[in-house]
């Protein structure tokens, strides 16, 4: 009920949890949250400023817009420039720059057809209404969005929609965590795991964090009580040799996740290597079309060559996404780069770490 949900915001419970946390800490603990919604929740609730000094917060790569690689943005721009193509995309992608600082918004101003949509199903409607054009939906997002996009593809196939394509740059969270935790420079002691992604994949895909690295990992909700409870679990689990993945967000996440959604996702896609902004190529961390669905694959249909390109000059998003630098340590933060005039994707996206730091720490 609503009353129970209110409890997850209760300041008294937060205070008690903070006291427990202080009492049980024995040294620094560096935790990374890997979801943009958590980044914003930690700042908006004020938690960032009340956490004990020993609890060090690192922002991770959990905003799908932020990890979209410069060469992937270049591919969007390449497609947007093609005759007869209409790009269908979620709004937050259009200001994300490629390696030359150019974005879809610039392309749109120069005459490219770019339609902002709210659901992938809207792109099917665009395809129906524009039979003489090719609609390319930009498939960006984690395990949370990929099943819906797979369902859209299944629907297009069933309907025989020939002018609907998807550029699949989906990314999978667990392989990125493996790369981050094994990086000795980042020194992560534990993860606050993404609630939304976990509703789809469940708890077990993260088990390697405890088994292989002996570090705690807690699937966590988005209210202050959730986050503090997760930190307390993390402090306790860090004393174990091989902690099991903890599910703090049981009101939304089941152990096995949404089996049907995962099934639909893998009916259409299979895992592939993927490029992450600031991190580079991560094996098996992306999704590409299975051969049976090749007719919907914009990469194949338009023969796109997506090679690695240099990073966006001056922007430190890569180091921010890996937890090696806080946004304020970027020389451009709050000066040349602000939400009104963003340079990198971490400032473009409202869930990006730079935007969250700017909004809640500078304002």
Q: Annotate 77-92 with DSSP letters as a single string.
A: HHHHTSTTEEEEE-GG
Does position 320 interact with ligand SF4 (CB under 6 A)? The reply is yes
Q: Residue 233, CB half-sphere, CA atoms under 13 Å: how many?
A: 22
Residue 277 interacting with ligand SF4 (CB under 6 A): no
d(CA 142, CA 62): 9
246 sits near ligand SF4 (criterion: CB under 6 A)? no
Least distance (Å) between residue 355 CB and ligand SF4: 8
Question: Closest CB to ligand SF4 among 23 and 362?
Answer: 362
Based on the shown chain and the rule CB under 6 A, indicate whether residue 215 belongs to the binding site for ligand SF4: no
10, 217 Cβ separation under 8 angstroms: no
Binding ligand SF4 (rule: CB under 6 A), the pick from 200, 347, 351, 356 is 347
Q: Is 192 in the site for ligand SF4 (CB under 6 A)?
A: no
Is residue 279 close enough to count as binding ligand SF4 by CB under 6 A? no
Should residue 103 be labelled a site residue for ligand SF4 when binding is judged by CB under 6 A? no
Residue in 208, 211, 219 with CA at minimum distance from that of residue 143: 219
Q: How far is the CB of 102 from ligand SF4 (least distance, A)?
A: 16
Q: Which two tokens stand for residue 136?
A: 């390319």
Tally of residues, the chain: 363
Q: Which of 47, 315, 326, 349 binds ligand SF4 (CB under 6 A)?
A: 315
Q: Does 316 bind ligand SF4 (CB under 6 A)?
A: yes
DSSP 293: G
Question: Residue from 73, 161, 203, 330 that binds ligand SF4 (CB under 6 A)?
Answer: 330
Among 47, 202, 333, 351, binds ligand SF4 (CB under 6 A): 333
Cα torsion at 20, 21, 25, 27 (round to 10°)? -150
Tokens of 182: 């094994």
Q: What is the rounded radius of gyration, in angstroms, for the C-alpha atoms of the chain?
A: 21
C-beta nearest to ligand SF4: residue = 344
**Separation CA 333–CA 169 (nearest Å):** 28
Q: Compare residues 59 and 123 and give the one whose CB is closer to ligand SF4.
A: 59
What region, left, alpha or beta, does residue 330 occupy, with left being phi > 0 and alpha being psi -120 to 50 degrees? beta
Is 69 a binding residue for ligand SF4 by CB under 6 A? The answer is: no
Q: Is 344 in the site for ligand SF4 (CB under 6 A)?
A: yes
327 touches ligand SF4 by CB under 6 A? yes
Task: Give the residue, chosen from 40, 177, 237, 317, that forms a contact with ligand SF4 under the rule CB under 6 A.
Answer: 317
> What are the tokens at 215?
């570090």
Q: What is the H or E stretch that residue 208 is in?
A: helix 207-213
Q: CA 214 to CA 204: how far, in whole Å?
A: 15
Q: Give yes or no for residue 332 binding ligand SF4 (CB under 6 A).
A: yes
Does 135 bind ligand SF4 (CB under 6 A)? Our answer is no
| Among candidate residues 91, 75, 89, 37, the one with its CA nearest the CA of residue 59 | 37
User: What DSSP designation does 106 have?
Assistant: H
Tokens of 209: 């964090």
Nearer to ligand SF4, 169 or 333 (CB): 333
Beta carbon of residue 311, minimum distance to ligand SF4 (angstroms, whole number): 10
CB of 168 to ligand SF4, least distance (A): 25
The answer to whether residue 321 forms part of the interface with ligand SF4 (CB under 6 A) is no
| Footprint on this chain of ligand SF4 (rule: CB under 6 A) | 315-317, 320, 327, 330, 332-333, 337, 343-344, 346-347, 354
């Amino acid at each position: 009920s609503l009353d129970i949900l209110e409890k997850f915001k209760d300041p008294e419970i937060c205070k008690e949890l903070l006291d427990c946390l202080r009492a049980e800490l024995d040294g620094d603990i560096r935790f990374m949250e890997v979801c943009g919604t958590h980044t914003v929740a930690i700042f908006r609730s004020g938690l960032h400023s009340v956490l004990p000094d020993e609890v060090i917060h690192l922002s991770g790569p959990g905003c799908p817009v932020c990890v979209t690689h410069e060469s992937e943005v270049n591919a969007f721009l390449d497609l947007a420039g093609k005759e007869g193509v209409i790009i269908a995309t979620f709004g937050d992608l259009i200001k994300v720059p490629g390696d030359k600082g150019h974005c879809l918004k610039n392309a749109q101003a120069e005459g490219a057809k770019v339609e902002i949509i709210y659901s992938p199903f809207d792109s099917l409607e665009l395809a129906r209404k524009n039979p003489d054009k090719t609609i390319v939906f930009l498939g960006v997002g984690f395990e949370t969005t990929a099943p819906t996009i797979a369902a859209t593809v299944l629907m297009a196939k069933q309907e025989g929609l020939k002018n609907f394509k998807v550029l699949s740059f989906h990314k999978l969270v667990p392989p990125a965590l493996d790369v981050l935790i094994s990086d000795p420079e980042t020194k992560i002691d534990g993860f606050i795991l993404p609630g939304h992604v976990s509703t789809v994949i469940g708890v077990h895909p993260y088990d390697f964090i405890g088994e292989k690295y002996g570090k705690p990992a807690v699937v966590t909700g988005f209210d202050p009580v959730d986050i503090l409870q997760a930190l307390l679990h993390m402090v306790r689990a860090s004393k174990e040799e091989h902690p099991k993945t903890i599910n703090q967000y049981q009101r939304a996440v089941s152990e096995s996740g949404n089996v049907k959604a995962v099934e639909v996702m893998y009916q259409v896609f299979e895992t592939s290597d993927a490029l992450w902004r600031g991190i580079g190529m991560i094996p098996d961390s992306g999704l590409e079309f299975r051969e049976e669905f090749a007719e919907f694959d914009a990469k194949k249909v338009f023969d796109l060559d997506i090679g690695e390109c240099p990073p966006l000059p001056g922007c430190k998003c890569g180091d921010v996404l890996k937890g090696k630098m806080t946004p304020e340590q970027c020389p451009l933060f709050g000066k040349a780069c602000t939400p009104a005039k963003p340079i990198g994707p971490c400032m473009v996206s409202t869930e990006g770490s730079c935007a969250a730091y700017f909004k809640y720490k500078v304002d």
